[in-house]
Structure 1
């Protein structure tokens, strides 16, 4: 299938229109016309080479909402016309313990990423959602509930599942005292999801200016991390802290905020950590943990949860011509919304 996307041809280069071929349908494939594609901070990291050498030219994008335009002969779950989503993975071995346990993100043989990975069948490089079409194995496509606005739902496929998965894993529920570090694309979804789970949520931020934004999405307030007095008073006041900041920072100022048996969970790949101070960990039986995305089953679960609770990401819709401008904005700051590309603006 001939199609078009926006690709980078080298480290830190601007994205430009790129004509390429999507594979022909295999028997278990779903062919999708992409309608909306979210922009994730990890797209920048990948293209900038922060996570190693990449197979350029490369089309990023793993927050994909589209419409089914074709199905393989063996596909049972989807039909032409369905609104569907694709997240950060498009394949895995399907045979290891992790895959059989619906945690394909931890596939023992390595999952196939939506872009920048080798296809398990033909070895071609996967290309992502900043494009008009995509072809994906049926098992890695999810249904988009009719209650969700498809123009805003794309970030749920990454920002949503990345924050939902640890909230579920660490049993956040009614009355759990949750801190969310950062109010960017991930952080604002973490707040919305934790509030819907019944938690008491505080945004931990460097800026006093975030108070109204935090309250508008359900947080009870903010804790300013640069205010030493406020941080000291907040000692032992959280059961769970979700750290969504996508740049290097010091964890040591946050661990004393945890109560006994509390956990701070990091969802951003930020490189080398500062040397951890062990006393707050030992004397409070506190933990610092990490979390990736979730599996396909859990991704469907978060979409259904968002539909049930009326949760949508805060988004700014842009055209394909504005992609590089949006990237420039993300390089400078971590806005409390996601950029979403209207792919109708990209013509073949």
Structure 2
């Protein structure tokens, strides 16, 4: 793993030189961040089994035609879940490289401890598991690595996948014969059309001028809301305008994407909601998203994801947003 170790040493040298030349600590950290090394210390030595499993994940992705960025997402995920060992145990009934669970409809224990099957299940596409894999997640190539991995894995610790970004890039370079850079693995190129901002970066005021709201046939939408309805078409048609005495819906600045017909989302329905919420957060700056609510949690620009307190009442799936993703616009 000489490449990643060299990158780590180079990052430290950048930091030392920056501080020595009088740069501020913030500038030094920014320079270090460019190296795609979100952890400190040396890249760990991998044993032959770990290297072989990483190479197998990459080879399957290449054979499937999955973009190289997906190989790195898969390798980083397997490093977190199993340390790249094909184990027959884990939390609850989790097994294999990706710690997939038979009870969550990923497959049988025998299937999930078969590296070919488990890796194909993670990548997704036309194969047996009912859960969406990576390439089934709309917009996964534009998500930060941790959000792309989380959209598949639905982990209780969604921020941990970035820990092995540098290692994943290094393994893809060595075993996929493909160069990846920080932008391609951490954030990815944007595909949504950015909405216009004021010269100071703020969002211009918009009237509710799209009449009628095309999702409900009544009321109105703002241009930014109309744009996100179009940009999020892969997640289905939402319901946007409604006359009420609070919130953004009556202003044409909010939409709800239903993941179920009314009950709480589980399994593939929840995975779809997880994926949409991750997509929205990843593109919030370009689209003008003010906040996202999904599954008892709310995301805002200032606080990130945190507990949702259901201020409007309703102790049911609609009130707790466990059946729909709500997005409000500036």
Please indicate, yes or no, whether the TM-score normalized by the shorter chain is above 0.5: no
Larger Rg: 2
Structure that is richer in helix per residue? 2
Length-normalised TM-score, structure 1:
0.30
Which structure has more RCO (C-alpha within 8 Å, separation ≥ 6)?
Answer: 1
